[in-house]
Amino acid sequence: MQEALTPGHLKKAKLMFFFTRYPSSTLLKTYFLDVQFSRCITSQLIKWFSNFREFYYIQVEKFARQALLEGVVDACTLQVSRDSELFRALNMHYNKGNDFEVPGRFLEVASLTLQEFFSAVRAGKDADPSWKKPIYKIISKLDSDIPEGFKAARCSQELLRS
């Protein structure tokens, strides 16, 4: 049991973000079995996911605003694919070595997030200080099951090999 989080734990958490953007502390405890949980450890993991979400939403909003400037009018035409700039930015942040196969479901969630941001900005909802909250609520319901392999203490090496 470790009493502190390591760079390996950070990498694991980043990869888990592809499946869950809003993990509960209970969920985190089931996937970090090699960590001696304390209030501090739990807070740090929750903070990591909060930071991951912040980066994610900043990137998506930036691309939504760019699409508007480029004259896109239909949100449904906005899709995040493996060769899109938005995917590259997100993948570089969460999967720096590009040695993990990002699940297709993440692309679907990212596409929906992009469409929601685009529609909200296009409708002028960004004039309201809390305009992002409805988007967060939608996205929070789209978390997927995290593969069992993430429960292993050495999951990073195992997942990266597959």
For the chain, the residue count is 162
Percent pLDDT > 70 in the chain is 94
Question: For residue 124, is it left (φ>0), alpha (ψ between -120 and 50) or beta?
Answer: left
Q: Are 155 and 36 in contact (CB under 8 A)?
A: no
Q: Give residue 157's pLDDT.
A: 53
pLDDT tens-digit readout, 80-109: 999 999 999 999 999 998 889 999 999 999
In angstroms, rounded to a whole number, what is the distance separating the alpha carbons of residues 63 and 144?
24
DSSP E strand stretches across 2-128? none
Q: Give residue 161's pLDDT.
A: 45
Q: Are 56 and 49 in contact (CB under 8 A)?
A: no
- Weakest-pLDDT range from 20-29, 125-134, 143-152: 143-152
Q: Give residue 162's pLDDT.
A: 44
Pairwise pLDDT comparison (108 vs 162), residue with the higher score:
108
Which long-range contacts does 91-94 make (Cβ < 8 Å, 24+ apart)? 93/14, 93/55, 93/59, 94/14, 94/15, 94/17, 94/18, 94/52
Q: Give residue 151's pLDDT.
A: 87
CB-side exposure of 29: number of CA atoms within 13 Å?
10
In angstroms, rounded to a whole number, what is the distance separating the alpha carbons of residues 84 and 92?
12
Contacts of 130 by beta carbon, 8 Å cutoff, 6+ apart: none
Q: Does pTM surpass 0.85?
A: yes
pLDDT tens-digit readout, 22-50: 999 999 999 999 999 999 999 999 999 99
